[in-house]
Amino acid sequence: MDLPLIAPRPARLSRMIAQLEAVEASGTFSNNGPVVQQFEQEMTERLFGGRGACLAVANATLGLMLALRHALHGRDPARSLVIMPSFTFAATAQAALWCGATPLLADCDPDDWALDTAAIGRLIERYGRRIGAIVPYATFGNSIDLDHYAWLARRHDLAVVVDAAASLGSQDAEGRAFGTDAPFPVVFSMHATKTFATSEGGVVYCRDAATIAALRSMANFGFDGARSATLPGLNAKLAEVPALLALAKLDEIDAVSAHRETLAARYRERLGRFTLQRPAGHRQAMQFFPVLLPPTLAPHRDAIVARLAERGIGAGAYFSPHLAEQPHFRETCLIDDLPVTHDIAARAVVLPVTDAMTIADVDRVAQTFGQVCDAMPRPIRAAAAVPADRELAAVIIGGGPAGTALLCAATKAGRLEQMGALGTTIVDRGDRVGAGLLGRYGITSDSSAETFLTADAALPPGLSLAGEPEEQAIRAHIGGLGVPLPKVGAYLDRLGSVLSERLCALGGAVLTGHEVVSARHGADGLWHVRARERADGSSVELSARSIVVATGGHQPAIRLVEEKVAGHTLVERCGSRLIQSDTLLREEGVEALRHLLGDRGRPLRIAIVGGSTSAISCAARLLKAQPSLALNAGSITVLHRRPLRPFYPSAEAARADGYDDFTADDICPVSGFVYRLAGFRLEARELVIHSLGINGRRGDPRLRLHRMADDDAALRILDDADCVVAAFGYRPNALPLLDEGGRAIRLRSDGPTHGAMVDDRCRLVDTAGAPVPGAFGIGLAAGYVPSGQLGGERSFRGQANGLWLWQNDVGRIIVDQLLARATDEAELGGARTASVAQ
C-alpha cells in the first residue's frame, strides 16, 4: 500500500549515537533523568510560552490516570461520576475506571464532534453533586473552548482533566499551543501513531506548576522527596531513551503540523460535498483526515475502505464502535442518550495524512474516495431544492426575524423581484421562515403594534395579511405598551411564509430544516456554503457572491466569568444562585425560577445585574408573574452602571414631562427624538420613568434601582440575593467562516475586545477591522449602530437592535450591496465573454 493510513515517523535513534552514548555514560536511564528534564523545560518554553509546567510520562493513559486521580483526591467519595464523551478512545474511560470513578458517557456536538455542552448541562442538572469531574476530549486534535470548562469547574465545583491525546502541534484561536494557560491538566500523547510521533510517551501540561509538582510525585509511586509515599501513586515515569526521541520531535513539530494542516486544507477543498468536522483554532495537528459518509452509504463503509485498499490507499473507521458500544463499558459506565454519537461513529471514515504525503497525493485520495462512494448502491432520493451548480446572488443564513427582514426591506424597496431572479436563497434550521425563537419569550415587545404592521402595508396587492387572525392579533394592541411576543411570533411566521413563497416564485429558494455547517470563501471569489439536512444528515453546497449572517445571538456562559461587579465575577460571588436573563425571559422562565428558589417561607430577594432592555424586562416579568411571587418592598434590585434613560419623541415632550437630563448630543439630529437609540420604550420605559420618579410618578415599591460604582453595597445586594439574574446582553451565534485554505476567519466579535460583528455598512469585519469580502451581518448581537442619514444620538454607545430598522434602513443597506455585487459580477462576466468571443 503506497499511501498507508498511518506511517509512523519518529526521529531516528540510529542518527543519535552521540546522545545514546551520553545516556549510557551518565548511568541514568530513568527516574527523571537529565534528558527528561531538558525535554520538559524546552516543551514548556517553546510550546507553552514559558507559562506553567510540563510532566513527561511513559504514556498518555498513565497521564490521564494520574491527572484524574489527583483531581478527585480528597473529594467526597460520593462524587464519583465523571462526564466524558462516548466518541473517544478506550483509554479515557479506562483511566476513570482505574481511578475508582464511574464514566458517565455523554453525546457529542454534531459539528465539531467534541463533548456536547448542552448534554453536560443536562447531566449536571440530573445527577447534581454525584458528578465529580469532566474529561472533555479535543476530538482529532481540534481545539475546544477551555474557558467554558473553567467556568463549569467554578460554577459547579467540578474537576476538569482534558484528554488532548492527538493535539500536540495544534494551535488555539490565538495561535498558541492548544492548552496554553489551562488551569487544569491537559494530557497529550506522543505515541508513534500521533503527529508528535516518538515511540511511546505522554505529556501533562498545566498553568499551575504546583499541580504538575504533585503529579510528578504521584508518577514516582507517590514519593514526595524521601522514599515515603505521601500521595496515591504509580510508576509513570518517562525513560531517557524515549525522551531523546521526544526532544528531537520537538525541533520539527511546528513544520510537521503546518505541513499536515496544508494537506487537511486541500482535503476540505476537495471533499466539500461530504460532512466534515468543523475546524476550530488556528491549526489542527492532523493524525488523519476524518470525513462522514452520507447516511445512505453508512452500511457500505467496510466495502468503501476495502475498495480504497485495493487502490493502494489506507483508510478506516475510527471510534467505531464508540465507548457505549463496547461490552466492558456497557457494563461499567452510565450511558446517556447518544443520537449524534451513534450517527457519527456509524458514518466516520478516516483518510491518510502523513508526513511524506503531497498535495498531489491528497488529490488522488479525494478523487478516488469520491469515485468509490459514487459507485456504491444507494436509494433514489429527490433532487436538492437548489441546483448545486447555480451561482447565487446571496445565501441568507438564518430565516428568523432578521433574515426575513431582508425580504421585507427588499419588498419595500421594490427589489424582491431582482433578488429572486438572481437566485437569493435562505437557509434555516427550523421548519419555517419567520419568527425563529422570538415567539417563545413570555414578555412584550419593545416595538409597537403600529411598527409591526408597517411590514404588512408594504406587501404587494393580493399578499396582504389584513384581516387574517395573526394580523388582527397584532392590531388589537395598537396604542398599547407593546405586543406579547408569542403573538408577534405567530405574525412573523405568517409574514415569513408569504415573503418566502414570493421569493421562490420569483426564482429564489428557501431551504428549511437545513443547518449551515460552514461557509468558505474560495479563490474564485465565491462563498461556498455547506448546509446539512437535519433529518438525514445529507448535505448540499451552495455557491454565492455574498452571504448574510442572520443567525441571532446567545448569552455565552463565559460572560459570567469575564464581567466583574465590584471586582468579582458573578460566578465567584453567586455560584449556583445565578441564572441568565435569556432563561428568565422565556415562556417557561418564571417556572424555572420557582424551581430554583423553592419555598423560602419568606419574601424573596432577587438581584438583576445590567442596565439593558433585557434587565428591565426581567424586572417587569417578575413583577407580573402569575401566580405572584413572594415579593415585598425592595425584593427586586436592578444593579446598573450607566444611567437609565427613557425615550421621548422630542426635547419639548421631555421637558413638558419634567425630564431634562439630556444634552444636544442625546438628541437624534434626523428625527429629533431624545435618546432614540439608548432610551427605553413602551413597557420598559413606563417601569423606568416610574422608578426614577420623573414628574412625581411613584414606582412599584417591590422594585428598586441601584447604580453601581464598584461599591460594597452592590456586593451586599448580591450576597443577600436568593437569585441573581445576569443581563449582560447577547453575542452573535457562531458560524464557522473559512478562507480559501480552510483556515478560520476570526471576526472582531470573537476577538479579545468582543467588538461589533459589523461595520457601518453592515459588512462583517475581522479582528484587524478589515471587511470580509462579500459577507454581511444583521440581527441580534450584530452590533450595528446607525449614523449619518439613518440618525441616532451622538452620545450613543452600544448596539442598536430593532425589527423596524432591520425591515427598513439596515435591511436596505444590505440589499443594495447584495444586488450591486451580483449585478457587477454579472456585467464583468459578460464583458469577459465578449472579449473571448472577439
Output DSSP code: residue 235. Answer: B
Q: Is the pLDDT of residue 202 over 90?
A: yes
3-state secondary structure at position 638: strand
For 128-145, letters b (16+ CB in 10 Å) and e give eebbbbbbbbbbbbbbbb
283-323 pLDDT, tens digit each: 999 999 999 998 888 888 988 998 999 899 999 998 988 99
Sort strands 564-565 and 527-533 into parallel, antiparallel or unpaired: unpaired
Determine the Cα–Cα distance for residues 330 and 319; give it in Å rounded to an integer.
15
Higher pLDDT, 94 or 462: 94
Highest-scoring range by mean pLDDT, 501-505, 556-560, 834-838: 501-505
Looking at the DSSP bridge assignments, the partners of residue 818 are none
Q: Tell which residue, 180, 172, 171, has the closest CA to residue 207.
A: 180
Supply the pLDDT for residue 835: 34
Any idea of the CA torsion for 109, 115, 119, 124, to the nearest 10 degrees? -160
Determine the Cα–Cα distance for residues 678 and 801; give it in Å rounded to an integer.
11
Q: Which residues contact 556 (CB under 8 A, 6 or more apart)?
A: 731
By mean pLDDT, which of 54-63, 137-146, 322-331 is the weakest?
322-331
Q: Is the pLDDT of residue 261 over 50?
A: yes
Supply the pLDDT for residue 733: 85
Looking at the DSSP bridge assignments, the partners of residue 163 are 137, 187
Report yes or no: 343 and 535 within 8 Å, Cβ to Cβ. Answer: no
Report yes or no: 59 and 47 within 8 Å, Cβ to Cβ. Answer: no
Specify the residue for cell string 502523513: 354
pLDDT band for position 382 (cuts 50, 70, 90)? very low
Residue-range domains of the chain with CATH? 28-254 (3.40.640.10), 391-555+732-828 (3.50.50.60), 559-644+680-729 (3.50.50)
Output DSSP code: residue 382. Answer: P
Q: Is the pLDDT of residue 718 over 50?
A: yes
Mean per-residue pLDDT for 505-516? Answer: 90
pLDDT band for position 379 (cuts 50, 70, 90)? very low
Supply the pLDDT for residue 828: 45
Supply the pLDDT for residue 831: 39
- The CB-side HSE value for 677 (13 A sphere, CA atoms) comes to 24
Mean per-residue pLDDT for 517-522? Answer: 89
Tell me the three cell numbers of residue 188. 497529550
Report yes or no: 425 and 541 within 8 Å, Cβ to Cβ. Answer: no
The mean pLDDT of the chain is 90
3-state secondary structure at position 197: coil
108-134 pLDDT, tens digit each: 999 999 999 999 999 998 899 999 999
Supply the pLDDT for residue 386: 63
Report yes or no: 579 and 618 within 8 Å, Cβ to Cβ. Answer: no
Q: Is the pLDDT of residue 69 over 60?
A: yes
pTM value is: 0.64
671-710 pLDDT, tens digit each: 999 999 999 999 999 999 999 999 999 999 999 999 998 6
Distances in Å between the Cα of 433 and the Cα atoms of 495, 503, 736 are 9, 12, 22
Supply the pLDDT for residue 384: 39
Supply the pLDDT for residue 829: 46
Supply the pLDDT for residue 387: 59
Question: Would you give the end-to-end CA distance of the chain in angstroms?
Answer: 51
The set of long-range contacts for 663-672, using a CB threshold of 8 Å and a minimum separation of 24, is: 663/795, 665/793, 665/794, 665/795, 666/793, 666/795, 667/793, 668/791, 668/792, 668/793, 669/791, 670/789, 670/790, 670/791, 670/792, 671/791
Sort strands 553-554 and 81-85 into parallel, antiparallel or unpaired: unpaired
Q: Is the pLDDT of residue 432 over 90?
A: no
Supply the pLDDT for residue 461: 76
Supply the pLDDT for residue 709: 80
Q: Is the pLDDT of residue 805 over 50?
A: yes
Report yes or no: 506 and 419 within 8 Å, Cβ to Cβ. Answer: yes
pLDDT band for position 378 (cuts 50, 70, 90)? low
Looking at the DSSP bridge assignments, the partners of residue 427 are 397, 511
pLDDT band for position 833 (cuts 50, 70, 90)? very low
Supply the pLDDT for residue 834: 34
